[in-house]
Amino acid sequence: MSAPTTAPLAAALEALRAALPAAAATDLGLPPPPTGVAGLRRAAVLVLLGPGADGGGDVVLLERAADMRSHPGQVAFPGGGVDAADGGDPVRAALREAAEETGLDPAGVEVLGTAPELYLPPSGFLVAPVVAWEAVPGALGAGDPREVARVLRVPLPQLADPATRASVRAGSGWVGPAFVLDDLVVWGFTAVLLSGLLRLAGLEQPWDAARVVPLPDRFTDPRPAGGAP
């Protein structure tokens, strides 16, 4: 792994590398997979970290197209279902999906670790977060504009800033963490996972969970954890 620009980022990456193998689902803010439940579908998301413009690190997120039937306009990690062609490997699935959705070249990506599968009760998915590092970031863009409106590299210091942090209440009454990024509100599964990973990386700062921001009207899906990736 090429040396990151700043010592805090280097420490965060090593903290994640050390913590992920032993992490439990509850460490990331979600329930463990249930036992004896049939029909659960497997998926994977790619949490792709890079050095960032100023060496403080960033993470790749995408904004879903506004007219999609499922989770329109929401901010998500690249990812999707684990297909038969993936051989059951969430790493292969996450890299494949990221390549399709953002144009990522997997050759320049180093996998730091895979978190435990996380259970999303509303959708019946088991989602494996694959955390990776891209020392020399390549150009990214929407693979299919019908599905992806834009691809973002969000600075980690911005995500960790207490002024960015808030809670959000969905129509179902579910309350969870959120990140307010200019014109975007990151919520649901993506925000829960981001919050947990910031904590594992040692980047989380004290923030006011009692600050509740409204969920934008365009987020019409009432399911509590954002459903499938």
Rounding to the nearest 10 degrees, give the CA dihedral for residues 183, 189, 195, 199: -160
The CATH homologous superfamily to which domain 7-213 belongs is Nucleoside Triphosphate Pyrophosphohydrolase (3.90.79.10)
* pLDDT digits 0-9 by tens, 33-58: 788 777 789 999 999 999 998 999 99
**Domain extents for the chain?**
7-213
* pLDDT digits 0-9 by tens, 97-154: 999 999 999 999 999 999 999 988 777 889 999 999 999 999 999 988 888 889 999 9
Residue 217 has a pLDDT of: 73
Residue 59 has a pLDDT of: 98
* pTM of the complete model: 0.91
The per-residue pLDDT of the chain, averaged, comes to 88
* pLDDT digits 0-9 by tens, 198-214: 999 999 999 999 999 98
Residue 150 in contact with residue 63, Cβ under 8 Å?
A: yes
